[in-house]
Every structure is written in C-alpha cells, then in structure tokens.
Amino acid sequence: QVQLVESGGGLVQPGGSLRLSCAPSGFILKYYTVYWFRQAPGKAREGVSCISYRTGRTIYVDDVKGRFNISRDNEQDTVVLQMNNLKPEDTAIYYCATDLAYRTTCNSDWRLTNDYWGQGTQVTVSS
C-alpha cells in the first residue's frame, strides 16, 4: 500500500515559480529520505534534489543550485520542492521517490536500491 503522489506542476513563464509537493500514502514520509527526479523528452532521468531523514542534509544538482529549495512540512507529512527563476530547460516530468533500503541518508550518486515512486507531475516552462 506504499504510494507517493506529486502535485503542483503546470505551465509557467520563464522566470516564474512553482511549488511541487510530495505526499505519502501507507507510510510516514517524515521518517524517510526523499528525492526529486525529473525526466525531459529525449533525455535520461536526472536527480534534482534530496533531503535526508537522519541529518536533514540536502543536495542539489548543479543546474538548480540557488534556484530550487527542498524542505519538509512535517505537520502535513509532505516534502516540497520550491522552484524559482524557472528556465525552459527545467521542462520535464518531476517525480518524487524514496528508498526503503537506505532511508536515512541521501545517496550522492542518485542510485536507489528499494525505491518507490510517484506518478509524476508535468512542469512546462515556456513563453
């Protein structure tokens, strides 16, 4: 019954902002490390950000540093990806994921072992 649901995607102009949310079903997300990935048409899946359970450490892919921020809302038991100054190259389907085998820390090489994914939410940045 483990499930993740992403929300908050949409169409935005370059320079705009979106706030994505990842919500769990069947488990308590605040006790797990959570990742955001994205996949653009014709490109491989790319790790975007991660927030660890054990330490709260966050990591970001270089292209989004200074523009994106990952955080937790523990009252809602969600993980948020705040995306600012969006660029056309940010256009992709965004997925959240967690790793039940290594739930306490972020894996810097973005490789997951026992992973659970949401269905994705579309982000389109265009004028």
* The predicted structure's pLDDT at residue 107: 92
Q: What stretch of H or E contains 18?
A: strand 18-25
Q: What stretch of H or E contains 93?
A: strand 92-99
* The predicted structure's pLDDT at residue 21: 98
Report helix, strand or coil for 30.
helix
* The predicted structure's pLDDT at residue 2: 77
Whether the CB-CB separation of 25 and 1 falls below 8 Å is answered with yes
Whether the CB-CB separation of 36 and 96 falls below 8 Å is answered with yes
The whole-angstrom distance between residue 37's C-alpha and the CA centroid of its chain comes to 5
Bridge partners (DSSP) of residue 92 are 123
| Sequence-ordered list of residues with C-beta below 8 angstroms from that of 66, at least 6 positions apart, any chain | none
* The predicted structure's pLDDT at residue 101: 82
* The predicted structure's pLDDT at residue 89: 97
Per-residue pLDDT of the chain (127 residues; tens, 9 = 90+): 678 999 999 999 999 999 999 999 989 999 999 999 999 999 999 999 999 998 999 999 999 999 999 999 999 999 999 999 999 999 999 999 999 888 899 999 999 998 999 999 999 999 9
